[in-house]
Structure 1
């Protein structure tokens, strides 16, 4: 029997990058792209290398193009880390795993290193498959923690829970990572949101602006840890913005949501160095009346638009600069 699972990219609607700093965020996953896993029983445990894992190139130019596409690390380290974390979780919780092995194949068309949580989508899809294969149930909050621990603890990648929570629930989620709550129960308070009052969202991206989570978040974490006042104030405001956005969502107050999305980015811009290309992408989106902020760590943006006329202007303006614009198919399983 072949087990097939999938997971989707994440869009951070509001509050990021406070998710790793006891803040509050809202995020959803969308099915325009997907990370898929195939897992089936075999005599030995085997991980099949995919495009992200190639080690042979026709020339140096091909190697450089591959690095520009996927970065320096492929998917093998992700999958190995997930196996280790899953195995140790089962041992710690006295979960007896059946004595059988598997072969794992994975594939993803999620644009890489653009703040769309492509790596955690691969991990989430793989963890789903192992849970099905070994008949182990893991609740969504714990599921998200395990995925995050692969990146944080096993691979040394600085990241927060937001991406993994959205991918674990596969619904839009309001997340409160209050420090006392996190210390008490090991995860935040998560509330699934109704999409009925959601505004018109768009997502835009271009591959040559990828920055990678490690580049952006490592410096911010250090500044947070030493208690830099400007950083602490920003984290507090991002949490307030998220609460205000949630109220606006309930009231279907699109103007307030528009303004809060813009403030979210402007606050980030005042705190973290942002590349010229990323700023230009935000400014172009705003020039037609849309709101705009990062979906994650940079390279892709999310925002709201009023109507189809504005979306057409948005798409035309950004397409002229080789920027893709899509309407996200929000997953609400």
Structure 2
């Protein structure tokens, strides 16, 4: 039997960073994000060999391990896959499994679209589908967060796991003790269409590790850096304001909030922006863009621009002269899901039984 899963990547529209501890523990976080039609993918193939074969294309990893209760983390290879496997074997008292697993992403790592966390959700969803584990959406998102942040010790916030699991436009509340409330937003179709017509997603050509930026952000909060904390308060408030503009279809208001949020975001850590990012933003603004903000922690990856739809092509052409590229996208509904592919003989047998 073959099991597959996919989970959507997300754009961090407003409030990003307020979901990161210790800020979310001290003050509570608010985030507005939306998933798009770029995905993480996972395939698991059952085998009768006592081997676990891993093909993680984004990590450039092709490895084999003997079937065991725990896969080694000290070699640093395919940590996301191993983290999920080890946790599930432990939590659900599952006998060691033998399988081939293959993963890949539509976007490069370090793109600011939540690729790593989305991949953890995707892998987890594949195992849940295979093993019929009793996990709902909140349980999957929370477990994915614990695997990535606590088991593997990878820096980051909480929003990505919930965005990938739930999908769509979501207004999220992050409270003490890792409590999360996901509020799905029912955005009218014409508003979504207008937003898509008014946005450009541009990859700077530079991937980055968010860990150093996030660690500096956490340190600024822990030490009570007043400028950084006040900027994060404003970033959190922007999620409230942007939610209202989206529900009303106020794209100009959306652009104003995005522009202000970017200015506040740059106060959170020293490497959030750089000459490559600034050149792209300056280029887009010079050709009529209304606002621009990096998606994710910053330092590279994708930049979201809000533009007048009639100027969209002109701005895309100007950005096309830089080292990055424009990525076409649409907003997506629905979160992570999995499905099973049975051998042809089984399918034929089922069809005969049906008739």
Distance 1:106 1:74, change over 3 A: farther
What is the Cα deviation at residue 15 of structure 1?
Answer: 1.3
The corresponding residue for 1:237 is 234
Tell me the residue number matched to 1:191: 183
Q: What's 1:284 paired with?
A: 283
SS at 1:329 equivalent: coil
Cα pair 1:175 1:189 within 8 Å, conserved: yes
Asked if 2 retains the 8 angstrom alpha-carbon contact of 1:81 and 1:150, the reply is yes
2:40 maps to 1:40: no
More strand by share: 2
Question: Which residue among 152, 167, 171 is the counterpart of 2:168?
Answer: 171
Q: 1:161 aligns with which of 153, 158, 162?
A: 158
Work out the CA distance in 1 between the residues paired with 2:89 and 2:44: 16
Structure 2 length-normalised TM: 0.79
Q: Please give the alpha-carbon distance, in whole angstroms, between the structure 2 residues aligned to 1:277 and 1:49.
A: 32
* Match in the other structure for 2:200: 202
Q: Residues 172, 113 of structure 1: CA spacing in aligned structure 2 closer, same or farther, 3 A cutoff?
A: same
CA distance in 2, matches of 1:103, 1:55: 11
The number of residue pairs the alignment matches comes to 304
Tell me how far 1:102 sits from its aligned partner: 2.8
Q: Give the direction of change, closer, same or farther, for the CA distance of 1:82–1:11 in structure 2 (3 Å limit).
A: same
The structural deviation recorded for 1:290 is 3.1
Matches within 5 A, 1:173-322: 173-179=170-176, 183=177, 186-196=178-188, 197-198=191-192, 199=195, 200-207=198-205, 209-273=206-270, 274-287=273-286, 288-298=288-298, 299=300, 300-307=302-309, 309-322=310-323
For 1:66, the equivalent position in structure 2 comes to none
Report what 2:90 is aligned to.
88
Match of 2:31 in 1: 25
Contact 1:37 1:106 in 2 (8 A): yes
Q: Which whole-Å deviations, capped at 9, do the CAs of 1:260-297 have from their partners, x for residues lacking one? A: 00011111123322211112222222232232111112
Give the whole-Å Cα distance in 2 for the aligned partners of 1:47 and 1:290. Answer: 48
Distance of 2:53 and 2:252 partners within structure 1 = 49
- Backbone CA RMSD of aligned residues: 2.2
How far apart, in 1, do the equivalents of 2:137 and 2:120 lie? 14
Structure 1 position 135 matched with structure 2 position 132 = yes
SS at 1:9's partner residue?
strand
Asked if the contact 2:54/2:62 (under 8 Å) is kept, the reply is no
Q: CA deviation at 1:141?
A: 2.1
Alignment of 1:33-112 (within 5 A): 33-43=38-48, 44=50, 46-51=52-57, 52-54=59-61, 76-90=78-92, 97=94, 101-112=98-109
Q: Distance in 2 between matches of 1:148 and 1:303?
A: 29
Structure 2 segments unaligned to the other structure (5+ residues): 64-74, 335-355
> Could you tell me how far 1:100 is from its partner in structure 2?
5.0
Larger Cα-atom Rg: 2
**Given that residues 258 and 291 in structure 1 are in contact (C-alpha distance below 8 angstroms), is that contact kept between their aligned partners in structure 2?**
yes
User: Structure 1 stretches of 5 or more lacking a match?
Assistant: 57-72, 92-96
1:286/1:45 CA distance change after superposition, 3 Å: farther
